[in-house]
Structure 1
Amino acid sequence: MTVQSIRKIGDPVLRRTAEPVTVFDAELAALVDDLTETLAASGGAGLAAPQIGVGLRLFALNPNLPGNDRKLDHLVNPGLEFPDEQEQSGPEGCLSIPGIYLDTKRRMNVVAKGLTKHGDPVQIVGEGLLARCIQHETDHLDGVLFVDRQDTEGIRRILDTVREAAWSHDRIKISPH
C-alpha cells in the first residue's frame, strides 16, 4: 500500500468520465488499498480513483462515516438509486480543492449498488453525510466536481479562494476577462 498524491482542480483527469472496472485481480486490490491508505492519510470522508490519477470507476469511503453500518470502505462500479425526493443542503469540501467548503445541495437518501474489489455484489443504504459522500465520490467518476453544483456566488467565492491558493498557481490559468 502506498499513499498517493491527490490531484488538484485543473488536472484533466478530474474532468473525464472514468471507465468501468472489468478485471478483478491483484492490481485492482492494490489500487483499492492505495485509495484506502491515501484517504486515511488525508483525513477525508471519501476518495475516488480519478483523484489519484486513475480513470476507473471506484472509490474509497471512510468506514467510520455515520450510518455506515456495514463499514464498507470501497465501492467498484457504483450505481445510485434515490428512494425519495428528500434533499439536504450542507457544507461540502473536496480533497482536490483544498480549503474550500460550500453549502451544496444533495439528495438525503441513496442506495448505492456496486461490487467489492473481489467482484462480489454489495449494496449500501446511506442517509445524511454518508449519502452526501457517496454522491460526491460518484460525481468524481463522472468528471463532475462539487463546484459544478454551485450557484454564481458560490463559483465566485471558489475562484477567489483558488486564485489565492499556493497550490493553484501552476495548475489553474484564470482568464483576465
Structure 2
Amino acid sequence: MTIKPIIIIPDPLLRQVSKPVERVDSDLTHLIDDMLDTMYDAPGIGLAAVQVAVPRRLLVIDVSKEGEDKQPLVFINPEIIRSSEDRSVYEEGCLSIPDYYAEVERPATVTVKHLDRLGKEQLTEADGLLATCLQHEIDHLNGVLFIDHISRLKREMVIKKFSKAAKSKVTV
C-alpha cells in the first residue's frame, strides 16, 4: 500500500465539509488501506480522508494499545446519532497539527451510524478513548479541528505559529 502525505494547518482543505461516499468499491477499499498504512506510519490512532487531501466522509481508527494486535476500524459516512450528557476530558493531538496537544471536553459516550468497509450499515456505541477519537475524526469531516474546542487565544496562537511556518517553507 501507499503512505500518503498528511496535510497540515493552515491548508484550507482542512476547513471544508467532506462529501458523502457514494459507493463502496475497490477504489475506496484501496484508499482505506492507504489511510490505515498512513495512520500507522505517522503514528496516530485516527485519520480522516480529508487529512490525506481526499474530502470524503471516511475515517479510520485504531485505539489498540502498544503491544496489542492491531484493531483497525473503518467508518464510512459516519454520523453521531446519540451523545451522552456526561462529559470526559482527554488530551488530544492531531496529525494535521503536529506536536501540539490540548485538553478537550466532549461527550463521554456516542452512538455512531456508519457503513463498514464492506458497505454494511453498522451502529457503534463508544466510550472512553474511542468515543473521543470518533468525535475528533468526525469533526474533521465537518471542517472542524480540535483546536476549535479550546480558547480563542490558544487557537489563534497555534494557527499563527503554523501559518508562519507554512510561509517560511514557500520559496519564491
TM-score range, shorter chain: 0.7 to 0.9
What SS is found at the alignment partner of 1:77? Answer: strand
Q: Structure 2 vs 1, CA of residues 168 and 107 (structure 1 numbering), >3 Å: closer, same or farther?
A: farther
In structure 1, what is the equivalent of residue 51 of structure 2?
Answer: 51
**Matched residues in 2 for 1:21 and 1:3: separation?**
21
Correspondence list, 1:32-47, <5 A: 32-47=32-47
CA shift at 1:157, angstroms? 4.4
TM normalised by structure 1 equals 0.85
Percent of residue pairs identical:
35
**Matched residues in 2 for 1:51 and 1:168: separation?**
20
CA shift at 1:74, angstroms? 1.0
Amino acid at match of 2:73: D
CA shift at 1:28, angstroms? 0.5
In structure 2, what is the equivalent of residue 23 of structure 1?
Answer: 23
CA shift at 1:43, angstroms? 1.6
What SS is found at the alignment partner of 1:75? Answer: strand
Q: Structure 2 vs 1, CA of residues 100 and 120 (structure 1 numbering), >3 Å: closer, same or farther?
A: same
CA shift at 1:63, angstroms? 5.0
More displaced, 113-122 or 139-148?
113-122
Instruction: Verify: 1:77 aligned to 2:77, yes or no.
Output: yes
Contact (CA 8 Å) 2:47, 2:59: kept in 1 or not? Answer: yes
Correspondence list, 1:109-120, <5 A: 109-120=109-120
**Matched residues in 1 for 2:90 and 2:110: separation?**
16
What SS is found at the alignment partner of 1:117? Answer: coil
Amino acid at match of 1:31: L
TM normalised by structure 2 equals 0.87
Amino acid at match of 1:128: G
Count of matched residue pairs? 166
CA shift at 1:10, angstroms? 1.4
Once superposed, which parts of structure 1, at least 4 consecutive aligned residues long, lie more than 4 Å away? none
**Matched residues in 1 for 2:24 and 2:44: separation?**
26
In structure 2, what is the equivalent of residue 68 of structure 1?
Answer: none
Contact (CA 8 Å) 2:39, 2:46: kept in 1 or not? Answer: yes
Task: Output the aligned Cα RMSD.
Answer: 2.1
Amino acid at match of 2:168: H
Query: Cα deviation per residue 1:36-87 (whole Å; 9 max; x = unaligned)?
Result: 110111121100000000010000101516xxxxx45210000113342011
Contact (CA 8 Å) 2:58, 2:75: kept in 1 or not? Answer: yes
**Matched residues in 2 for 1:148 and 1:91: separation?**
14
